[in-house]
Amino acid sequence: MTAFGACRIKSQKNNPIAKQGSENMMQKQISATDDSSALINSIVESFSAMSLPRLASAELYLGIPFQILENLSQAINEQRLGDEKKRFLNRMRYAGILKERSIETFKWSSDTYPLADAGVIESALNINFIRQCKSLIVAGPPGVGKTMLVTIVACIAIRNGFSVMYKTAHDISVDLREAKAGNSLSGYIKKLQGRDILIIEDVTFASFDKSTAQAFFSIMDKRYGRKTTIITANGNITEWAANFPDKSMSSAILGRFYEDAILINMNGAEDMRLNKAKAILETYANESGCERSER
């Protein structure tokens, strides 16, 4: 080593500023290494989740500059989010739901549903009742938010990996008759029995003959205690069940509906759709009045 080099090293050792600078540089290098390691781990985990094992090896990314790793990680995350959205939309269509609804689109307070028990809507939205294989009944007049609420619950459930079937009771009644005529009744019943969540809209609007009533009861009976059934009703479910062609099924079907179910009573609520229409008309009238005044 030259005398100049030895003096320089000695000078650095004795110079606190130079020593601090060296330590800062080492710290930055360690930090950059940690950041790269974190990105590499994230990339490996992402490729593993995407079922791409050949790309899920940390050794492939050692020595690659941090900026490139960061760009790669961002691109992978965007791809995963896109794939997840496609899967969700496909599962939503498979369930029979045309449009996603979220909690943000459903506004309510303690005054919105005066007859509903406190906390019952929150209990429905946290979907724990689905994990417990309990059912949900939402009753009330048209326009108060029954469909929106159960659609939100369905979308949350789909995002959590549950299989869903969304049908009106009338459609089920028609489907059962057509399946019976086409000798495919058994397969249709199994289809409705097998979904984690079966949503039946407007149950009091459906009518069943004796054979389809038996098939409908079979679906409810098989799901009872094993799967979640969500029902909306505009009218009185007890009166509807009393009109079943097979009277012996009336009390049995009610038992399958109500036992250990969450009940949300939306009676007494205002018609949301009517209020929205009134607000639109009032806005239009006010704007038209302003235009006439300006003229």
Q: 25-71, pLDDT tens digit by residue?
A: 445 444 546 678 888 898 889 888 888 889 889 888 888 898 998 89
Q: Enter the tokens of residue 186.
A: 């058994």
pLDDT for residue 233: 94
Report the pLDDT value the prediction gives residue 291, as an integer from 0 to 100. Answer: 58
pLDDT in tens, 139-165: 999 889 999 999 999 999 999 999 999
The tokens describing 3, both together, are 């005398």
Spatial separation of the C-alpha atoms in residues 228 and 252, rounded to whole Å: 17
Q: Are 170 and 205 in contact (CB under 8 A)?
A: yes
Average pLDDT of the chain to the nearest whole number:
83
Decide: 191 and 198 in contact? Cβ < 8 Å. Answer: no
Q: What is the pLDDT of residue 2?
A: 44
Query: What pLDDT is recorded for position 4?
Result: 39
Q: What is the DSSP string of 149-209?
A: HHHHHHHHHHHTT--EEEEEHHHHHHHHHHHHHTT-HHHHHHHHHHSSEEEEE-GGG----
For range 172-182, the mean pLDDT: 94
CA distance 66 to 150: 46
Nearest to 55 by CA among 42, 43, 67, 66: 43
Kindly tell me if the per-residue pLDDT of 288 is higher than 80: no
pLDDT tens, 100-122? 999 988 888 878 999 999 999 99
pLDDT exceeds 50 at position 23: no
Half-sphere exposure of 75 (CA within 13 A, CB side): 6
The whole-number pLDDT of residue 278 equals 54
Cα→Cα distances 78→72, 73, 84, 183, Å: 10, 9, 10, 47
pTM of the entire structure? 0.74
Domain spans, the chain: 3-94, 98-274
Region 134-142: what's the mean pLDDT? 93
* 202-248 pLDDT per residue, tens: 999 988 888 899 999 999 999 999 999 999 999 888 888 888 887 78
Question: What is the model's pLDDT at position 293?
Answer: 60
**Local confidence band at 273 (pLDDT 50, 70, 90 cut-offs):** low
Distance CA 168, CA 192 (A): 13
Tokens of residue 238, six digits? 């007890």
Q: In this structure, are residues 230 and 200 in contact, taking their beta carbons and an 8 Å threshold?
A: yes
Q: In this model, does residue 5 exceed pLDDT 80?
A: no
Give me the mean pLDDT over the 11-20 stretch.
50
Compute the CA torsion angle 236, 179, 189, 175 (nearest 10 deg).
-30
pLDDT of residue 91: 94
Q: What region does 226 belong to: left with phi over 0, alpha with psi -120 to 50, or beta?
A: alpha
* Residue (of 97, 105, 98, 156) closest to 131 by Cα position: 156
276 pLDDT tier (thresholds 50, 70, 90): low
Q: How confident is the model at residue 129 (pLDDT cuts 50, 70, 90)?
A: very high
Q: Residues 197, 227: contact at Cβ < 8 Å?
A: yes
CATH code of domain 98-274: 3.40.50.300
Residue given tokens 């790793």 in the structure block: 69
- What distance in Å separates the CA atoms of residue 295 and residue 291, rounded to the nearest whole number? 6
Report, as an integer, the average pLDDT of 283-287.
Answer: 60
